[in-house]
Structure 1
C-alpha cells in the first residue's frame, strides 16, 4: 500500500507540473498569436472598410462629375441656341439677349430634379463677357459675377487651348468664396469648328459631407480629394476651397505606387494608414487617412478583455485537471500493478472495473485480453495433444501403402514370369501412379512429371474404355521444368472421359496442351464430347466460381481445388457447346519471371 501511495503521488505531481508547463507556454504563445491576429485582422478590416468607402465615394463623385461634364456639352444639343451664342452682337443686341435667356432656361428646366444646389453654371463668350449664370438652381440676369472678366486668367487660356476637351480647374476663382468647397471644370464650345464661348461649372463638395462624411468617415480619420500633382481640392476636416498640397510622404508613395492601394506613413510624428484610389477620368485621387493610434486604441481593449478571460479559464482548467487526475490515478495504479504481476502469475488475475471512462474501458479490455489468453493457452495445449496423436496415426498408416506397393510388384513379376506382359504393364502403371498420388502430397512437381503421371492414368482409362477415345499431348519443352501442384489437371481430364465421352462408343478425341506466354503458364484440356447441357462461355475466378451452379458440381470441385492452391494467381476460361465438346483453359501466373532458355536448359 505504501508503494501505491508513492507511485500515485509521483505520477500526480509529474502530470500536474507537466500540465502547468504545457499550459503556460501555449498561453503565452496564444496571447502573442491572438494579439497579432487581432491586430492584423483589425488592420485588414480597416483597409477593407476604407476601400469600400472609397469605392462608394469614387462612384458618387464620378456620377456628379460626369453629370457636370454632360452639362458642359448640353449646348451641343441645342443648335439654335449655339447659333445665337455665335452672333457678334450678342452682348449689344437686346433682342438677341431676350431670346438667349429663355433658351438657357429651357435647357436647365429639369435641373431641379437633379440636386440644383450641387452645380453652378457660367457661360462666357470669347471676350470674357458673362452671358448666362445659373447659381444654386436659380438663374439671375444680373450678379456681381458679371464684373469678372476671365480672359486674362490661366484657367480661361488653358480651356481655350484644350480645344474642346474638358479642363479641370484646381484653384479658387475670384467669383468663388474661399469658404465654399467647390470643384470646377470648363470646356470650350464650338459651332462647327469655330470657337464661340466657354462653359464653367462648379461642383459643391458639401454633398460629400452630407452623403459620405457624416455616415462613413469618423472624426479620427480624414477624407481628401487631390489632383495628380498633390493639390488638395477637398478635405473632410476643413470646409474651405484652398487646402494646400498633400504631404510629400503621401504624394511620393502614391506617385510610385499603383493606381489604388494602401500603405503606412508617418506625419507630424504620428503613424497613419493611407488608403487611396484614382478617378482616372478626371485625374483625381481619393485618399482616406486613418491614425494608427486610433486603430490600436479601438482594438487593444478588446484584446485585453479576451486575454483576461483566457487567464481565468486557464486557472480553472488547471484546478479541475489536478482534481480529475488525482481521482483517476487509483484505477490506473491498480491496472499497472495487475499488468506487471501478470508477467509471472497465471492468467486468472483480473482488474476491478469501477468506471466507464477510458481507464475503465482499458481495464475491461485488459481483463478480456487475459481471458482470451487463458482460452488460447488451453486451446493450444489441446491442439498440441491432437497433433501428436495425428502424427502417431500417420506413422502407423504409412505401413499400409508400402505393403500395397510390395503386393502389386509381386503380382506384376508373377504376370511377367507367366508371359502376361499386358497385365504386368497395367500393374506397373497402377503401382507407379499410386505411389505418385499418396507420397508427399503437399510438395510441388515438374510439369514433365505431372504429364508422365497423366499418360499412365490415361493408359489405364483406355484399357477400361477400349477404343472409345484417343488422347494427344502437345507440351512445350520450355515448360517441362516448371513446378506446379500435383494432380491439378487430373479432375478435368477425368471429367472429359467419364462425362464427355459417356454416350459414344468411339471417335472421342482429347487434347492436352501446355505452353508458356510471358509470365503465365497455360494448360488446355479440349474434348469433342457431349458438352454441358447448356452453352457455357465464362471466365472463372475465385470470386465467381459459385456462379457455375449446382449442376456442375464436378467442375466446381476441380476448380475449387485449383483456386485453393493458386488463389488470385489463377483464372480459368470455360467454353462448352452441347453436342460439340468442352474446352478448359487454365492460366497460372508464375511467382518469378521465367526465362524459356533457362527452363529448356534445365
Structure 2
C-alpha cells in the first residue's frame, strides 16, 4: 500500500464516512422501536385528552354537589334559633322548649328537602349541642373537652368559618350502633357568634349518604377497564366508586397543575392517569386505565416501520458518502486559512457563509484574526503615544529646577513691587508646572488633578478678569483615586477658548467631579457660543476613530485615544452642544 492510499484511508473524510454510515445504520435499527413508541405516545395522548375531558365533566358534577352541600351548611350556620340555643339566651324554661322545637323543625325540613343528609351534629361550646340523625332530634350538653381536643375539631376551628371537607370516611361522632362504621361523606364548619363575629361558639358536622357521589364516579367510562377516585392535598384517597381504597395513599405522584395526564406504573401495570383539580376543595378527580387496553390498535404501525427500515438502509450508504465530502471541505478551508495566519498574514478572512458549527468556527477565526491585528495596531499606537509623551516629558524636565527658581524670583519681585496680577499668574504657573511634571508619572490622584485645574484657572482669571465665573463641585470621596494626568485641563481650556472667549458679556463655567458605581464623570459645561450641528457631528465622528493621525481636532482625539488605550473602548469623551446656548463635555473613566 503506497503513502497516498495510506493517507486516504486515514483521512478525516474517510473517518466521517465510517462514522456517518455506522450512525445511520444504528439509527435505522432503532427507528422501528422509536416509531412504534411514538405512535403509542400519540394515541395515548389523544385517548388521554378524551379521558381528561370526561374526568373534567365528572369533576364539574362533583363541584355542583359539593357547592350544594356547602350551601346547606351555610343555612345551618346562619340560623338564629341555633345561635340562641348554643348561647343559652333564654328568659325562661318555656322559651328554651319553644326554641328547641324550632331547631328540630328547621333541621327536619332541611333534611327532608333531599334525603341524602344522614346526620347533623351541632356541637356548641356554650349551653347546649344538638343532633339530628336516624334516631331523631336530641338536645345534648355542650361539647366535651375530649371532643375539642380531637384533631378534626381543631382543623374546623382553624378554618375560621370556612368549610372543611373530609370526604368519604367513618363518622367522627360515634352513636354505638351499627351505623358507626358505615362510610359517610363528612364536612365541618365552625359556628360564629353573629354579635361577635370573631368568636367561635361551636362546630357543625354534616354527614351525607355517599351513594350519589359513588354512583356518578362509577359512571365515568374509559372503555378500558378504568377506575376513578378523588385524592386530597396529601394524595390520600377521600372518595372512590366502591369504597375499596378510602383513606389510603393513592400511590401516584401527581403534579401540582390544575389538570393534565401522565403515565405511571401501578401494581406492575403501566397506567394512563388523568386528573382535574376542583376549584371548591383543591381535591383532584383522578381517572386511571391500563395503557395496553387504550392503544391496542397501534400494532399495524410496527409493520409499516419495518418497510421504512429496509428502504433507509439502502439510502444510508449514499448519504454517508455525500455527508463525508460535505463535512471535509470546510476543514480544508479552515486549515488553509490558519496556515496563512501562522505565516503572518492577518488580513486573511474566510468568506464562506454557513449556518452550522463550521460557520461559527469561521466567524470565530475571522474575529480572532481581526482582534490580533487590532491588538498589534493598538500596541503600536500606544508605543508611539508613550514615546511622544516621554519625549515631551524629557524636554519639559530640562532645567526644571532653574525654571522653578526663576519663576519663584519673579513671583517675589512682583510681590515687592505689589504687582498682584503678575504675582498670582507666576505662582499659579509655577504650581501648574510642578504638578504637571510630577516626576514623570502618567497617573496622579484626583486631588492633584483638581489642584492642577485650580492653578490653570487662577492664571486664566487674571487674564480674563470678570469674563466668566467658575463653579467647581467635587465628590470628596474620590480624592485618593489615581487618574491620567493630562486629560482634564485641555477640556477646560477648550471651554474657555472656544466657548466663552467669543461670547458677548460674562459667562459661566461649571466643572463637576462625581462618581457613580466606581465610574468618574468629569463634566465641563459652559454657556458660551455653542457648536454648530455640522461641526458637532464631525467632532462625534472624530472621537469614534481609533487612529490619531492628522492635525484637526488633535487635542480632543488624542485625549479620547489615551482614555480608550488606558481604560478600554467603552470609556472616553462625550459632547453635547446647542448653538447659542452652550456646550457640555463629559469625560468617563473607571476609578481604580
Which TM-score band (shorter chain)?
Answer: 0.3 to 0.5
Rg larger for: 1
> Which structure is higher in RCO with an 8 Å CA cutoff and minimum separation 6?
2
TM-score, normalised to structure 1's length? 0.38
